[in-house]
C-alpha cells in the first residue's frame, strides 16, 4: 500500500528550480524512486557551456545517484523529467510563453531550490538570483490554477547574526524594494561601498538576500500554502540513495577530499564546538513531506521549519577527530599525491603558520614538478584560494549556533508509520562516528571517482607513500639539524638534538 505522502504526489506535476545542483539532483532521485507515480517534474534549466537543456538533462541522468533507482526501474522513468528552458535570474524565469502556459496549467507543487551559494558574491548577483529569483517564482505561482503547495528552500544561516534562532521569521533591517531599487540605480562600485551599511550584522550578501526572500514568500502565504525549510550545512547522504553519496565539495566532504589526496594536512576547526551538519537525504525527505503537509492542510500563514542537527543531535569534531586519519588509510585513494595525515588546529593564525610549511611550500614544489612533466599546476592556486577565503569564513568556522527545531521534530513524530520509514528526516537517530565512515567512502567513490574495486591497489600505494613520507621527514629534519648545527657552530654531537628538537617544534603546528 502506498503511503500518504506517495498518494499525495501520485499523478501530480512538480515544478522544480535548482534541479541540477547537489540538493536538486537528490530531490529528483528521491521522487522518481519513492513516488514513481508522479505525473512529471518540470525542471527549470538553462543552456550551459554550449549545451542545450536536453543534453544537460541526459548528463544529469548519468549521475551515480540514480544507480539505486535503476535497479528497480528502467530508463523510461526519466521520461517523467520535463526540461523547460529558463533561468531564475531572468524576467518571467526566462520561460517562453508556451512553457509558461504549460507550467501554469499543470503544476501542483512548487519546490524552489535555486540560489547562488557563493559567500563572497557581491550584492547585484545575489539580489538577482536569491531575492528577485524567488519573487519571479512566486509570481508564477500566483497564476497556477491547481497549486497545492509551495516549498521554499532557504538556509538556517539567514539568521546567522543570532547564535540561537527559532522556527520563525525575523524582521529584516531593509525592505526588499529598497534593496532592489539600489541595485537598479547604483554602480557596482557604489554598491560595494554601501554593502556593509546594508548588511549590518549579516556576514555576507548571501544570508542577507536569503532573509529578504523569506519575507517575499510570507507575502503570498494567504494565497497558497507556503513552507520555508531552513537546512544548515548540507552534507553527504546518511542512508539514501546510498550512504555517503555526494557531489558537493562544500563542508566536511570537501575537507575529506583534499585530505585523502594528501593535499590538505591542516584543518582549522574548534573540535569542542557544535557544528550544524545535515545529511542531504534528510533535507530531501523533509522537503517532500512539507509539500504533502502544506498541500493537505488549509494553512494561510507561512510555516517555517529548521532542517538542522545542533539541538536534536549535536555534532562535535572531537567525536571523530581521533578516527579521521584511520578512515583515510582504511579507504585510501589510488590517486593520492602524498601520504594523508590530517591534523586539526583550533585557531586561524596557527593554521596559517602551519600552512606555510605543509601546504604552500609543498605546493610550490609539486606545481614545479607538474610543469616539468607537462601537467597542469593547480595546488598553489587551490591553497591560495583557501587562504584568501579564510577571513570571510572565520565566523562560520569558529561560531557555534543553536537552531531550535520543535516544529520539525513534531512533524517527524506525527508522520504515519509508513512515511516515517520512506521519508525519514529524524536525525536524532543518526550516529555521527558511523556516518563519517560512510562519508569517507562516499568521498572516495563519488568525488574522487575511485571504484571500490581499486581499494586493494590503493592500500598498497598507501603503504608505499607511508615509507616515502617517513624517509622524507627523516631527511628533512636531519638536514635542518645539520644546518642549525652549522649556523650555531655546535659540535656534531648536537646534530640530532637540533633535528629532534625541530621535529618536536614542528609537530606543535
Q: Note down pLDDT in tens along the chain; length 509 residues.
A: 779 999 999 999 999 999 999 999 999 999 999 999 999 999 999 988 888 999 999 999 999 999 999 999 999 999 999 999 999 999 999 999 999 999 999 999 999 999 988 878 899 999 999 999 999 999 999 999 999 999 999 999 999 999 999 999 999 999 999 999 999 999 999 999 999 999 999 999 999 999 999 999 999 999 999 999 999 999 999 999 999 999 999 889 999 999 999 988 999 999 999 999 999 999 999 999 999 999 999 888 999 999 999 999 999 999 999 999 999 999 999 999 899 999 999 888 888 888 888 888 888 888 887 788 887 877 787 777 777 777 677 788 889 999 999 999 999 999 999 999 999 999 999 999 999 999 999 999 999 999 999 999 999 999 999 999 999 888 888 888 888 888 877 766 677 788 888 888 888 77
* pLDDT number for residue 426: 95
Give CA separation, 109 vs 27, 38, 137, 147, 296, in Å. 13, 11, 12, 6, 12
Give CA separation, 317 vs 106, 344, 433, in Å. 47, 9, 10
* pLDDT number for residue 396: 85
What pairing do the DSSP bridges indicate for beta strands 40-45 and 81-85?
parallel
Under 8 Å between Cβ of 196 and 274: no
* pLDDT number for residue 134: 98
Contacts of 238 (CB under 8 A, 6+ apart): 279, 281, 282, 427, 430, 435, 438
What is the Cα–Cα distance from 458 to 450, expressed in whole angstroms?
9
Q: Is residue 149 helix, strand or coil?
A: strand
CATH of domain 4-245+273-315+400-430: 3.40.50.720
What is the Cα–Cα distance from 90 to 98, expressed in whole angstroms?
16
* pLDDT number for residue 120: 80
Continuous segment of H or E residues that includes residue 183: helix 176-185
Which of 315, 302, 283, 237 shows the shortest CA–CA distance to 426? 283
Continuous segment of H or E residues that includes residue 268: strand 266-268
Q: What are phi and psi of 249, to 5 degrees?
A: -105, 10
Q: Which three cell numbers stand for residue 273?
A: 564546538
Q: What are phi and psi of 402, to 5 degrees?
A: -120, 115
Give CA separation, 243 vs 280, 394, 440, 444, in Å. 10, 30, 10, 12
What is the Cα–Cα distance from 285 to 291, expressed in whole angstroms?
10
Which of 194, 241, 231, 187 shows the shortest CA–CA distance to 210? 231
* pLDDT number for residue 66: 96
What pairing do the DSSP bridges indicate for beta strands 81-85 and 343-345?
unpaired
Q: Is residue 246 helix, strand or coil?
A: coil
Amino acid at each position: 500500500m502506498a503511503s500518504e505522502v506517495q498518494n499525495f504526489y501520485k499523478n501530480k506535476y512538480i515544478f522544480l528550480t535548482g534541479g541540477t545542483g547537489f540538493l536538486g539532483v537528490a530531490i529528483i532521485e528521491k521522487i522518481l524512486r519513492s513516488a514513481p507515480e508522479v505525473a512529471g517534474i518540470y525542471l527549470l534549466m538553462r543552456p550551459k557551456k554550449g549545451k542545450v537543456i536536453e543534453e544537460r538533462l541526459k548528463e544529469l541522468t548519468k549521475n551515480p545517484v540514480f544507480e539505486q533507482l535503476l535497479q528497480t526501474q528502467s530508463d523510461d522513468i526519466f521520461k517523467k523529467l520535463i526540461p523547460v528552458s529558463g533561468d531564475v535570474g531572468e524576467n518571467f524565469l526566462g520561460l517562453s510563453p508556451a512553457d509558461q502556459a504549460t507550467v501554469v496549467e499543470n503544476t501542483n507543487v512548487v519546490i524552489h531550490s535555486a540560489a547562488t551559494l557563493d559567500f563572497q558574491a557581491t550584492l547585484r548577483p545575489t539580489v538577482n538570483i536569491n531575492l528577485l529569483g524567488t519573487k519571479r517564482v512566486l509570481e508564477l505561482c500566483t497564476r497556477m490554477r491547481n497549486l497545492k503547495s509551495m516549498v521554499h528552500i532557504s538556509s538556517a544561516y539567514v539568521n546567522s547574526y543570532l547564535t540561537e534562532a527559532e522556527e520563525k521569521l525575523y524582521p529584516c533591517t531593509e525592505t526588499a524594494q529598497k534593496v532592489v531599487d539600489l541595485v537598479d540605480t547604483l554602480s557596482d562600485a557604489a554598491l560595494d561601498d554601501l554593502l556593509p551599511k546594508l548588511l549590518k550584522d549579516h556576514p555576507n550578501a548571501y544570508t542577507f538576500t536569503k532573509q529578504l526572500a523569506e519575507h517575499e514568500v510570507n507575502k503570498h502565504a494567504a494565497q497558497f500554502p507556503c513552507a520555508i525549510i531552513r537546512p544548515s550545512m548540507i552534507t553527504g547522504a546518511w542512508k539514501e540513495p546510498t550512504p555517503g553519496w555526494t557531489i558537493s565539495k562544500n563542508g566536511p566532504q570537501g575537507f575529506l577530499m583534499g585530505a585523502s589526496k594528501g593535499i590538505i594536512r591542516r584543518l582549522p576547526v574548534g573540535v569542542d564546538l557544535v557544528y550544524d551538519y545535515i545529511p542531504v537525504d534528510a533535507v530531501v525527505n523533509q522537503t517532500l513531506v512539507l509539500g504533502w503537509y502544506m498541500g493537505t492542510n488549509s494553512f494561510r500563514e507561512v510555516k517555517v521549519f529548521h532542517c538542522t542537527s545542533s539541538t536534536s543531535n549535536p555534532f562535535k569534531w572531537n567525536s571523530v577527530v581521533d578516527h579521521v586519519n584511520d578512515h583515510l588509510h582504511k579507504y585510501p585513494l589510488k590517486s593520492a599525491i602524498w601520504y594523508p595525515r590530517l591534523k586539526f588546529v583550533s585557531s586561524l593564525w596557527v593554521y596559517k603558520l602551519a600552512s606555510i610549511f605543509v601546504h604552500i611550500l609543498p605546493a610550490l614544489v609539486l606545481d614545479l614538478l607538474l610543469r616539468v612533466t607537462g601537467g597542469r599546476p593547480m595546488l598553489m592556486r587551490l591553497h591560495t584560494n583557501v587562504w584568501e577565503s579564510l577571513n570571510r569564513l572565520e565566523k562560520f568556522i569558529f561560531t557555534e549556533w543553536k537552531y531550535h527545531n520543535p516544529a520539525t521534530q513534531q512533524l517527524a513524530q506525527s508522520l504515519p508509520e509508513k512515511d516515517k520509514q520512506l521519508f525519514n528526516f529524524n536525525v536524532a537517530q543518526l550516529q555521527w562516528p558511523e556516518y563519517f565512515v560512510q562519508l569517507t567512502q562516499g568521498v572516495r567513490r563519488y568525488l574522487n571517482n575511485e571504484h571500490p574495486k581499486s581499494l586493494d591497489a590503493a592500500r598498497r600505494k598507501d603503504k608505499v607513500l607511508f615509507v616515502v613520507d617517513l624517509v622524507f621527514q627523516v631527511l628533512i629534519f636531519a638536514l635542518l639539524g645539520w644546518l642549525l648545527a652549522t649556523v650555531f657552530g655546535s659540535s656534531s654531537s648536537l646534530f640530532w638534538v637540533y633535528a629532534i628538537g625541530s621535529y618536536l617544534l614542528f609537530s606543535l603546528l
